[in-house]
Amino acid sequence: MNIYAIEELMYRVSDIFLAPVLISLLVLFAYSLFALGSFFAKTWQRKCNAVQYKNAQKELTAVGGYDLFNFYTQAVKAKAKNLSFDDLEVFALKKLEVVRLVTRISPMLGLIATMIPMGPALKSLADGNIQGISDNLVIAFSSVIFGLVVATITFWVATVEKRWLAVELLDCQKLMEADKTAKETKEKEAKEKVQAEKPEVMHAVS
């Protein structure tokens, strides 16, 4: 097999990827619109429940739009003894996982869908087929635009939601530290009470 056969094989195989990549870009574009709609809905929820969230930190009740805090309150109510700060961090990463993946994948798919039609476009140029050039370039430029639009939307959503989760993470950390301090103080007072009762018992016995 000579080099020209390999080049022809790679050219044919790359053409196969065009349709799946274009479909993937359309799916990711639909997801970005869904993520944007969910983002605006959550923004409205958080704005309406901002005061309630402050009160909920004292009462440990669920609040709409504060997913990480709600996860923490559910764990506390379920008396999850193994809940740690690392568990909250993992939950936050999971919440951002999909949108962050889309942010990184969509420009790559846009670039792939841009480069694939360039081969047929150059071939059409060599053949003097102007129509073939324009058809392939339309696909190429449309694909990269879709990829960049999806990346822009999801990057914005991911950045703001990351800040929201960071704030909730800090609030939960403060609550966990306060709860830990309260338990330690209670245990210390209990020990001091027991130690104070021992001399009285010994005196009564004697």
pLDDT tens sequence across 146-196: 999 999 999 999 999 999 999 999 999 888 888 788 777 777 776 767 676
User: What are the sequence ranges of the domains in the chain?
Assistant: 3-205
Whether the CB-CB separation of 164 and 46 falls below 8 Å is answered with yes
Whether the CB-CB separation of 40 and 160 falls below 8 Å is answered with no
End-to-end distance of the chain based on CA atoms, in angstroms?
105
- Does residue 4 have a pLDDT over 80? no
Residue 129: pLDDT band by 50, 70, 90 thresholds? confident
Tokens of 56: 């909920």
Residue 67: pLDDT band by 50, 70, 90 thresholds? very high
- Does residue 200 have a pLDDT over 60? no
H runs (alpha helix) in 49-129: 50-59, 67-77, 85-115, 118-127
Query: What integer pLDDT is reported at residue 80 of this predicted model?
Result: 65
Lowest model confidence (mean pLDDT) among 43-47, 68-72, 187-191: 187-191
Query: What integer pLDDT is reported at residue 196 of this predicted model?
Result: 65
Query: What integer pLDDT is reported at residue 182 of this predicted model?
Result: 75
Residue 134: pLDDT band by 50, 70, 90 thresholds? confident
> pLDDT digits over 10-31, tens only?
778 888 888 899 999 999 999 9
How far is Cα of residue 168 from the mean position of the Cα atoms in its chain?
Answer: 15
Query: What integer pLDDT is reported at residue 206 of this predicted model?
Result: 53
Q: How far is CA 140 from CA 18, 104, 118, in A?
A: 10, 19, 7
Question: What's the predicted TM-score (pTM) here?
Answer: 0.80
> pLDDT digits over 113-126, tens only?
988 888 888 777 77
> pLDDT digits over 72-120, tens only?
988 888 876 678 888 899 999 999 999 999 999 999 999 999 888 888 8
Whether the CB-CB separation of 73 and 61 falls below 8 Å is answered with yes
- Does residue 204 have a pLDDT over 60? no
